[in-house]
Amino acid sequence: MKASGITKETVLNYGIIDRKFPEFKVGDTIEVSQLVKDGEKERIQLFEGDVIDIHRNGVATTFTVRRIGANGIGVERIFPYYSHYISDIRFIKHGKVRRANLRYLRERIGKSARIQEEILTKEEQSKPEVTAKQETKES
């Protein structure tokens, strides 16, 4: 018997709109512009760091950004991707990583906590990235 009404899949995709943020993945360095309310005033606060984790779960999609603050203390924030408080995401650089999440960076300090930048050639920069969804549409 087919489910009628609301299913788990429809709930996860409910309210998803295209945010038009740049594509980023784990290991990339991004700058998130977040709307902050101080009493009756509103301002935009920037948080720049490395993406260490992404949870893709429909409208509940989140990503974790980590940066090194004052005195070498690591600061992490978890941002909901579809939140109205995120006004913009600016892409800074690609990171060269081989893992799906970089939680091991929490225990690292100094140079071992850095992510090496991935240098792209001119052909790779001009070539559009083909995703798995596009490949299945073409087939």
Residues 20-42 have pLDDT tens digits of: 999 999 999 999 999 999 999 99
What CATH architecture is 8-138? Roll (2.30)
Q: Give the predicted TM-score (pTM) of the model.
A: 0.77
Location of structure tokens 């260490």: 52
Higher per-residue pLDDT: 11 or 132: 11
Residue 129 has pLDDT above 90, yes or no: no
A 10 A CB-CB count for 59 gives 14
∠ CA(24), CA(70), CA(117), 5° rounding? Answer: 30
- In order, the DSSP letters of 19-34 are --PPP--TT-EEEEEE
pLDDT digits 0-9 by tens, 41-91: 999 999 999 999 999 988 889 999 999 988 888 999 999 999 999 999 999
For the sheet with 74-80, list strands across it: 74-80, 62-68, 41-55, 29-38, 86-93
Give residue limits of the domains in the chain.
Answer: 8-138
DSSP one-letter code for 68:
E
